[in-house]
Chain A
Amino acid sequence: MNPWLIAGMSVSATLVPCAAMCLRGSPERRLVGLEMTSLMVTLAMVMFAVGYGRTPFVDIPLALAILSFGGGLVFARFLGKHL
């Protein structure tokens, strides 16, 4: 166990309030929870990659950061027009 893994687990624990936002309340609150979740998972994955000494896996949070941008825009558009 090193500081990177501890920090990664601490950041992963923020998924509990994010899940509380995503699973309850209005669609607007759920969308904000989803966007926060993608942020937290991105940062936690970087920490786990460095903590486990598998730095090539930083590609995965990089892909997530780019794709969650598109996903967020699609959900926002869909929420404003169709839901």
Chain B
Amino acid sequence: MTAHSIVENGLLVLVVLACWLGAIGMWRMREPMQALHYLSLPATLGAFALAIAVFLAEGANQAFWKTLLIACVLFATNSVVAHATARSFRARDLGHWEPLDGDPFEFVRDTEEK
């Protein structure tokens, strides 16, 4: 077994671990808002580790560039989808998603609201 294949297999193990940690973490969380945070683990660490593993296995060919594009798409869109989903949870609870005075977190109000 060469150093090349050890690194490749290590990256595959990293992808599997990222996916399992994300899935188990999501499953174990009580609140949907908490579970939502676990999407980022496979979407960032898993996807980019997979792209590097494909590069080691196949070289800089079409499969690698497509896998890198997949990783970039997942990285960019995951934050947008997570934000939209969290906003929809809040809108579902309150009827709107704007911050309230008693909310236990900091927020910036629109200047028009002041």
Instruction: Show the binding face of A for B, using Cβ within 8 Å.
Output: 3-4, 7, 10-11, 14, 17-18, 20-21, 26, 28-29, 31-33, 35-36, 39-40, 42-43, 46-47, 49-50, 55-56, 58-59, 61-62, 65-66, 69, 72-73, 76-77, 79-81, 83
Work out how many contacts link A and B, with CB atoms closer than 8 A: 139
Q: Which residue of A lies closest to B11 (CB)?
A: A7
Instruction: Show the binding face of B for A, using Cβ within 8 Å.
Output: 8-9, 12-13, 15-16, 19-20, 22-24, 26-27, 32, 35-36, 38-39, 42-43, 46-47, 50, 54, 57-58, 61-63, 66-67, 69-70, 73-74, 77-78, 80-82, 84-85, 87-89, 91-92, 97
> Is B19 a contact partner of A77 (Cβ separation < 8 A)?
no
> Is A55 a contact partner of B73 (Cβ separation < 8 A)?
no
Q: How far is the CA of A29 from the CA of B36 in the complex (A)?
A: 9
> Is B39 a contact partner of A39 (Cβ separation < 8 A)?
yes
Pull 15 A–B residue pairs with CB atoms less than 8 Å apart, ordered by A.
A4-B57, A7-B13, A14-B22, A18-B23, A20-B27, A21-B26, A35-B82, A35-B85, A43-B47, A49-B63, A56-B62, A58-B70, A65-B74, A76-B87, A83-B92
The distance from the CB of A75 to the nearest CB of chain B, in whole angstroms, is 8
Interface of A is mostly: helix
Q: How far is the CA of A41 from the CA of B63 in the complex (A)?
A: 17
